[in-house]
Each structure stands twice: as C-alpha cells, then as structure tokens.
Amino acid sequence: MRITPETKLTVFYCQNCFKEDSRILEAQMGSEVALYPIACSGRLDPLFILRAMEQGSDAVCLFVCDEGMCRYFEGNRRASKRVAYTRTLLDEIGIGGDRAFVRFLTESEKAKPVKMIAEALANARKLGPSPLKSASAKRRKK
C-alpha cells in the first residue's frame, strides 16, 4: 500500500480579511495548513512565497481584500502583481506558477475563513505534491 504524502498549504492573509486568530484557524484546519497574517497583503515579498515552497509547501495562497476595499488603498493590487511575478519565477524554474495564487475576498467570504482555506487546500491537492518534494527525497536517498 502506497502512502500518499500530506498536502501542505501555506496561507498568507491580510489581517483585515479574517478576524479570527491564526492559531484558532490552524487548529481547525489541521497540520496541512500554515497560516501567516500580515499587516497588509501589499507587504508580501515574493521571497516569502519562494521560501514557503522551499520549506515543503505544495502551494501558497494569499487572501487579500476585495478590489477597492483595501484599507491601504492599493495593497491588494500590489500583492496581486507580486504573486504574478512569483508565478513567472516558479514557471521558469519548473515548479509551476499555478502553485501560487491570490484570492480576493468579498465581505461575505471574510466571515467564512475555514471555508475559504478549505477551498484553497482542495486546489492545492489537485496540483499534487510539489516537484521540490520529490527532488528533496532523491537527495536524501543518496
């Protein structure tokens, strides 16, 4: 019997998106999800996404405020551009840009963080294990 590896999802989210504490959400979601609140999604550095992938994440999701609803006016647009840039980097190095994605949350979706995170995790499962995981496993065998 083949044991399938657990899917790992890293979620960065604007603190204005979800009002619940990240520790409470992580407890509800289990070990497959790591949550990192940030003051504004516009503060997300592409390096954070790359580092999450390097540390074993199969996918990285960024939850941002809906268009026109950013408290800091354009943080969500900046974040979207940074994720788009990171996606091109992930494609260029053969990991797959679809492993990094942004989700703009409406006011009604902000009230359902567990549902939104579960949808992102389902998306990550569809992608399968990250190519970095298999490369890492090969290095350990040598």
Q: How many other CB atoms are found less than 10 A from the CB of residue 112?
A: 13
Order of all β-strands in the sheet with 9-14: 33-38, 9-14, 59-65, 100-105
Q: Which CATH class is domain 9-141?
A: alpha beta
Rounded mean pLDDT, 97-118: 89
Domain chopping of the chain, boundaries: 9-141
Residues 6+ apart with CB under 8 A from 23: none
**Can you give the pLDDT at residue 14?**
87
**Tens digit of pLDDT for each residue in 12-52?**
998 888 777 778 888 888 889 999 999 888 889 999 999 99
Contact 103, 117 (CB under 8 A): no
DSSP 8-state class, residue 106 = P
Please say if the pLDDT value at position 84 is more than 90: yes
What band does 2 get if pLDDT is binned at 50, 70 and 90?
Answer: very low
- Write down the number of H helices and E strands in the chain: 6, 4
How much is the pTM? Answer: 0.85
